[in-house]
Structure 1
């Protein structure tokens, strides 16, 4: 009898689960699998898509006592393009080109020199906004930046908060660069489709 109890318990558990299966919530039972539930874009909470365009100024400060860009991997010694260099950034983003203009967010992430032929960076960064209706929201930029090109285009691959489901692109244009210090100000024009 003692050996029979575990077998009976196991069978009762299986039978109970099979009987309850049709009554489980849709997130656990459905055509899409046990952990996926499809929703319609017409459901409450899903708003109409809109296109937002805004201009920001990104300040990459590599000099001084408080740099906002710090190299964490040095480039190859014999490279003319700084190939292999990786820098972590926490760069201020402002409304105007002056560092003293209104701070609207921070560009946080990294860039890496990923080209042996020209100065070409892999940019991976979040624009984390701290101002106005976008406070607490982010957009994520991931792409190639050939820094000596007049205009560089990089994709927006996502976002959070007001920019959930974001997609689009940014155009980067060098505003100023100090060749002695390496400090740079870049104008970013962002075109973002979001809800």
Structure 2
């Protein structure tokens, strides 16, 4: 009997201690609200950047290579199922020898069964000037044969941290034999 009484007391003491500990110790929250100032951010800015994108899928030094395709890609009028990996130069002017200011690194895939339309998933990685080391992340549809296309900016790093905005693409030149394309980009970025 004394043994049962001791067990009951030990159980009650343990229960009381656990109750005290769980009600007095606050758990850490999963998330918390911060001000942009606490991250060192200043007022939001709008920046416009203009450059030329050189996509070179052929020749001795391609900057875009095929990494996948569907069995019907080559017979499709829109190359549906084609997946390309790219590391394309971004330049100040449309000439191939123009000063390089960054790279477009990522993937584009022919995702439209009817017309030439690409899903673009890439980063603009800047290597010159004020934005050296900063990136912009792009996600969107590129209907390559339309005069003007628009893709979303979904993020960024460095001076473009917390970026959002859009990139407008306009084909400067396209060689249908080689597939080499030069595209002018006007990029509008909201960032801190």
The residue aligned with 1:174 is 171
Alignment of 1:113-192 (within 5 A): 113-192=110-189
| Equivalent of 1:45 in 35, 40, 44 | 40
Does 2:59 align with 1:64? yes
Bigger Rg, which one: 2
Does 2:92 align with 1:95? yes
* TM-score normalised by length of structure 1: 0.84
Q: Alignment partner of 2:130: what SS? A: helix
Instruction: Give the total of aligned pairs.
Output: 185
Q: 5+ unaligned residues in a row in structure 2: which ranges?
A: none
My pick for the range that moved more, 184-193 or 69-78, is 69-78
Distance in structure 2 (CA, Å) of the matches to 1:179 and 1:141: 25
Q: Which has the higher helix share?
A: 2
Instruction: Spell out, residue by residue over 1:99-118, the C-alpha distance to the aligned partner (whole angstroms, 9 max, x if none).
Output: 21111111011101011111
Q: Alignment partner of 1:162: what SS? A: helix
Distance in structure 2 (CA, Å) of the matches to 1:146 and 1:88: 18
CA pair 10-158 structure 1, distance change in 2 beyond 3 A: farther
RMSD (Å), alpha carbons:
2.4
The residue aligned with 1:55 is 50
CA pair 82-49 structure 1, distance change in 2 beyond 3 A: same
Moved over 4 A (4+): 3-14
Distance in structure 1 (CA, Å) of the matches to 2:19 and 2:54: 62
Q: Alignment partner of 1:106: what SS? A: strand
- Offset of residue 74 of structure 1: 2.2
